[in-house]
Structure 1
């Protein structure tokens, strides 16, 4: 094996390397019993990041306009607190945040379909820590979703 092939598989990620070896991983969400496309399928990373950006922007706007005298270090802290409250309340009751609604996403529980408030709290605490959200499994679920037994799907 030459160096270009090794670098190519490294840059492509572990999924590409496994597929190159001939293993069939199936589509994202297949192990969870979710459809491959359309409503109920695993949300794509671009939509998830877009929804997060909308939610974070909304929280920054609220923190900037209502709680502080201008943008400073505490604005980000207030925005994180507002994001936490917004996420727990909206995901725990409606199943989506404003950003998720705009991007056509929904958070569902794997067993019941509806996210209980305690699961929403667990998911949001882990999401605010950021590291669990950056560790994904082969289905594209973050560690925060795995630990809360939830999944973000297309609405």
Structure 2
């Protein structure tokens, strides 16, 4: 026989005790302000800025060839993230790429992240902490500066 306790267990909803309250909580990052996870809006605007710059350069150097644009975009990402920790779009929007724990991303992480980012799919598949597969692969995170 079914009693009220059986019904109540599913009426109260799923167990949410293991779910974090905000992106980055599981990683030990603050909810907001410097060091918090960069949210989707900033990330999308940053990549749009970087892609526009790559497109402008590609139009000058490669007559707008799509592979040329992708190469310019990749070069910008690898060089700037590998040395400074941020691309032009990231800088404009106040975000940067770091390893978990706060260390700089470094050249190897920049290369692997960029190659995966250029495949697009890893960037649009992300976890509850809003880390794309390209960030998870290199143990990096995009944070607010």
**TM-score (normalised: structure 1):** 0.81
The residue number in structure 2 matching 1:59 is 54
2:85–2:106 contact (8 Å) kept in structure 1: no
Task: Count residues in correspondence.
Answer: 131
1:109 equivalent in alignment to 2:99: yes
Alignment of 1:128-143 (within 5 A): 128-143=118-133
Task: Report the 3-state secondary structure (helix = DSSP H, G, I; strand = E; otherwise coil) of the residue aligned with 1:152.
Answer: strand
The residue number in structure 2 matching 1:33 is 28
The residue number in structure 2 matching 1:21 is 14
Aligned partners of 1:116, 1:101: CA distance in 2, in Å? 17
Alignment of 1:45-124 (within 5 A): 45-68=40-63, 71=64, 75-111=65-101, 113-124=103-114
**TM-score (normalised: structure 2):** 0.86
* Structure 1 residues 39 and 111, CA gap change in structure 2 (3 angstroms): closer
The residue number in structure 1 matching 2:10 is none
* Structure 1 residues 37 and 111, CA gap change in structure 2 (3 angstroms): closer
